Amino acid sequence: MDLTPVRGCRDFLPEKKIARDAVIEKLRRVFEAYGFNPLETPALENFEVLSSKYAGGDEILKETYKLTDQGKRDLGLRYDLTVPLCRVVASNPRMTLPFKRYQIASVWRDGPIKAGRYREFVQCDVDTIGAKGMIADAELIALTQDAFDSLGMKTFIKINNRKLLDALLLKAGVPSAKQPDAILSLDKLAKIGKEGVRAELFERGVEAKSAEEILAMFDSFAKKGNDEIIDKLASIVGAEDAGLKELRDVMQYCAAFGVREDFVAADPSLARGLSYYTGTVFEAFLTEGAITSSIAAGGRYDKLVGAFAGRGEDMPAVGISFGLDVIGEALADGTKEKKTVVRAFVIPIKTGAAAAKAAQELRRMGVPTAIDLNDRGVSRCLEYAAKEGIPYAVLVGEAELKQKSVKLRDMASGKEELLSVAEAAARIKSTFCSR
Among 208, 216, 239, 255, binds a copy of itself (CB under 8 A): 255
Least distance from C-beta 373 to a copy of itself, angstroms? 4
One of 23, 26, 81, 87 touching a copy of itself (CB under 8 A): 87
Q: Which range, of 67-75, 171-179, 263-271, 399-407, touches a copy of itself by CB under 8 A? A: 67-75
Task: Tell whether residue 417 is a contact of a copy of itself (CB under 8 A).
Answer: no
Phi and psi at residue 396, in whole multiples of 5°? -120, 105
164: three-class secondary structure by DSSP: helix
Confirm or reject binding of residue 11 to a copy of itself (CB under 8 A): yes
SS3 67: strand
Q: Which CB atom, from 108 or from 301, has the smaller least distance to a copy of itself?
A: 108
Q: For CA atoms 256, 257, 262, 265, give the dihedral sign.
A: negative
Q: Is 391 in the site for a copy of itself (CB under 8 A)?
A: no
Instruction: Tell me the CA distances in angstroms from 141 to 93, 125, 126, 255, one per residue in order.
Output: 28, 13, 11, 11
Q: Which of 171, 357, 427, 429 binds a copy of itself (CB under 8 A)?
A: 357
Number of residues that bind a copy of itself (CB under 8 A): 104
Q: If binding is defined by CB under 8 A, does position 431 make contact with a copy of itself?
A: no
DSSP letters spanning 397-414: -HHHHHTT-EEEEETTT-
Q: Which of 161, 88, 74, 76 is nearest to 125 (CA)?
A: 88
Residue whose CB is less far from a copy of itself, 15 or 231: 15
User: Of the candidates 55, 77, 58, which has an alpha carbon nearest to the alpha carbon of residue 121?
Assistant: 77
- Which span sits near a copy of itself by CB under 8 A: 155-163, 190-198, 383-391, 425-433? 383-391
Using alpha carbons only, how large is the chain's radius of gyration in Å? 27
Angle at 273 (CA atoms; ends 271, 279), nearest 5 degrees? 50
Binding a copy of itself (rule: CB under 8 A), the pick from 23, 27, 49, 315 is: 49
* Binds a copy of itself (CB under 8 A): choice among 57, 173, 273, 368: 368
- From the list 58, 71, 336, 415, which residue makes contact with a copy of itself (rule: CB under 8 A)? 71
Amino acid of residue 60: I
Please report how close the Cβ of residue 318 comes to a copy of itself at its closest, in angstroms: 10
Label the pairing between strands 344-348 and 369-371.
parallel
Residue 367 in contact with a copy of itself, rule: CB under 8 A: yes
Of 326, 360, 429, 432, which one interacts with a copy of itself (CB under 8 A)? 360
Task: Answer yes or no whether residue 187 interacts with a copy of itself by CB under 8 A.
Answer: no
Q: At 299, is the secondary structure helix, strand, or coil? A: strand
> Of 37-45, 160-168, 220-228, 393-401, which part binds a copy of itself (CB under 8 A)?
37-45
Under the criterion CB under 8 A, does residue 60 sit at the interface with a copy of itself?
Answer: no
98 near a copy of itself, judged by CB under 8 A = yes
Task: Give dist(CA 395, CA 18) in Å, integer.
Answer: 27
Scanning residues 118 to 177, which ones bind a copy of itself (CB under 8 A)?
A: 119-120, 128, 130-133, 135-136, 139, 142, 146
Task: Give least dist CB 406 to a copy of itself, A.
Answer: 16
Minimum Å distance from CB 170 to a copy of itself?
30
Are 225 and 233 contacting, i.e. CB atoms less than 8 angstroms apart? no
Task: Classify residue 232 by its DSSP letter.
Answer: H
CB of 163 to a copy of itself, least distance (A): 20
Q: In the range 99-118, which residues lie near a copy of itself by CB under 8 A?
A: 100-101, 106, 108, 110
Residues 295 and 155: beta-carbon distance below 8 Å: yes
Q: Applying CB under 8 A, does 369 fall inside the site for a copy of itself?
A: yes
SS3 274: coil
Cβ atoms of residues 227 and 144 within 8 Å: no
Q: Are 362 and 347 in contact (CB under 8 A)?
A: no
Binding of residue 9 to a copy of itself (CB under 8 A):
yes
Residue 303 touches a copy of itself, criterion: CB under 8 A = no
3-state secondary structure of 175: coil
Among 156, 221, 257, 432, indicate the residue that binds a copy of itself (CB under 8 A): 257
Report the distance separating Cα 270 and Cα 311, nearest Å: 30
